Amino acid sequence: AREAALSASTGPGTTSDGHAVPLLANIGGPKDLESALAHGAEGVGLFRTEFLFLDRADAPSEEEQEAAYRAVFDAFPGGRVVVRTLDAGADKPLAFLPPSGEEPNPALGERGLRMFRKYPEMMESQLGALARAAAGTAALPYVMAPMVATVEEASWFVSACHDAGLDTAGIMIEIPSAALRAHQLATVVDFFSIGTNDLTQYALAADRQVSGVADLQDPWHPAVLDLIALAADGAAGAGKSCGVCGEAGADPVLACVLVGLGVTSLSMGSPALPWVRAALGRHTLEQCRTAAVAARGALSASTAKDAARAELPGLA
């Protein structure tokens, strides 16, 4: 039955009543394309470009970056390819940058877009390589910044993208301040992608790297679901799209809940794509919405999951 369900699960992501939910792949570089294509990804929802920069003595040249970006664009003609700019910091240190000193709380430090405040030439160089790779591609190139906390940061990033010749610029929603102010952020960017891993970490004040608080690092917490709903509503109010690219989207039950909360696409590690496609295909949008309401009404992460499951009979 498992195999039958999987083989039936091909084609674009959609609920049983035909509401399209593009299913995209999270990748770390061209080496992950084969798996993405084999699992039927409709595009890339998160290219974590820091993998091109980590574990090496020197920064990749612009030519090397351009070749990697072009290979990813070329794999999805007509599809969306969302490239995230460098998300490094004290938690993912780069050997070739001067050490910024030990940070007592790397998750709260100079990581993601914040690093580009200090090294704007790195941002210009990455956006330049991306713009050259994007020129003439048959894919739809999207660029997004990680770790955006404020409207000023979002505007700064969008203008840097435009200056580089990149038209479609968005941000990750992974800091609670960004979810709370999504209605304003949505007026300055083209799209959102919710990073549920970091959004959960910051909402619950539970470090992703600390196993002693792993129980709190659970995107089913109703507080996290509330923040996701705020982000999705903020995007919808401005007519923008709002995907999810954190691990939450890889859980078939939670994927249905995310769609019910108003999330418009889901990106995940490729092996999860068939399971999520099958789960969505067995439920209507209305069932997903009812499950989302039930989950948000719960008192805990585990009862939220139980409440959602009870509304999604196709997952038995």
Q: Kindly state the smallest distance separating residue 292's Cβ from Mg ion, in Å.
A: 22
Please identify, using beta-carbon distances, which residue of 43 and 146 lies nearer to Mg ion. Answer: 146
Indicate whether 177 belongs to the interface with ligand PEP (CB under 6 A). Answer: no
Q: Report the relative pairing of strands 191-194 and 241-244 from DSSP bridges.
A: parallel
Please identify, using beta-carbon distances, which residue of 126 and 196 lies nearer to Mg ion. Answer: 196
Check: CB of residue 304 under 8 Å from CB of residue 253: no
Determine which residue in the list 22, 45, 246, 260 makes contact with ligand PEP, applying CB under 6 A: 246
Determine which residue in the list 195, 234, 252, 274 makes contact with ligand PEP, applying CB under 6 A: 195
Please identify, using beta-carbon distances, which residue of 153 and 198 lies nearer to Mg ion. Answer: 198
Determine which residue in the list 21, 39, 48, 308 makes contact with ligand PEP, applying CB under 6 A: 48
Q: Catalytic one among 161, 242, 245, 256?
A: 245
| 66 annotated as belonging to a binding site for a ligand | no
Check: CB of residue 114 under 8 Å from CB of residue 48: no
Please identify, using beta-carbon distances, which residue of 22 and 195 lies nearer to Mg ion. Answer: 195
Catalytic annotation on 245?
A: yes
Q: Which stretch binds ligand PEP (CB under 6 A): 75-83, 160-168, 192-200, 273-281?
A: 192-200
Check: CB of residue 57 under 8 Å from CB of residue 119: no
Q: Which stretch binds ligand PEP (CB under 6 A): 6-14, 190-198, 250-258, 307-315?
A: 190-198
Give me 125's structure tokens: 């160089």
Binding string, residues 79-108; x marks residues near ligand PEP by CB under 6 A: --------x---------------------
Query: Quick count: other Cβ atoms within 10 Å of Cβ 109?
Result: 17
Give me 47's structure tokens: 């290219």
CA atoms of 263 and 8, how far apart (whole Å): 24
Give me 10's structure tokens: 């091909």
CA atoms of 20 and 280, how far apart (whole Å): 10
| 114 annotated as belonging to a binding site for a ligand | no
Q: Kindly state the smallest distance separating residue 147's Cβ from ligand PEP, in Å.
A: 8
* Residue 38 CA: distances (Å) to CA of 33, 35, 162: 8, 5, 34
Please identify, using beta-carbon distances, which residue of 74 and 218 lies nearer to ligand PEP. Answer: 218
Cβ within 8 Å of residue 316, ≥6 positions away: none
Give me 121's structure tokens: 């030439």
Determine which residue in the list 59, 131, 144, 245 makes contact with ligand PEP, applying CB under 6 A: 245
| 42 annotated as belonging to a binding site for a ligand | no
| 197 annotated as belonging to a binding site for a ligand | yes
Give me 210's structure tokens: 């600390």
| 208 annotated as belonging to a binding site for a ligand | yes
Q: Which residues bind Mg ion (CB under 5 A)?
A: 174, 195, 198
CA atoms of 195 and 117, how far apart (whole Å): 21
Determine which residue in the list 137, 197, 284, 303 makes contact with ligand PEP, applying CB under 6 A: 197
DSSP character string of 174-207: -SHHHHHTHHHHTTTSSEEEE-HHHHHHHHHT--
Identity at 195, one-letter amino acid code: G
Phi, psi for 74 (deg, rounded to 5): -65, -20
196 binds, among Mg ion, ligand PEP, none (CB under 5 to 8 A by kind): ligand PEP
Please identify, using beta-carbon distances, which residue of 32 and 66 lies nearer to Mg ion. Answer: 32
Q: Within 13 A of 260's CA, how many CA atoms are on the CB side?
A: 27
| 26 annotated as belonging to a binding site for a ligand | no
Report the interface residues with ligand PEP, using CB under 6 A: 46, 48, 87, 174, 195-198, 245-246
Catalytically active residues, by annotation: 245
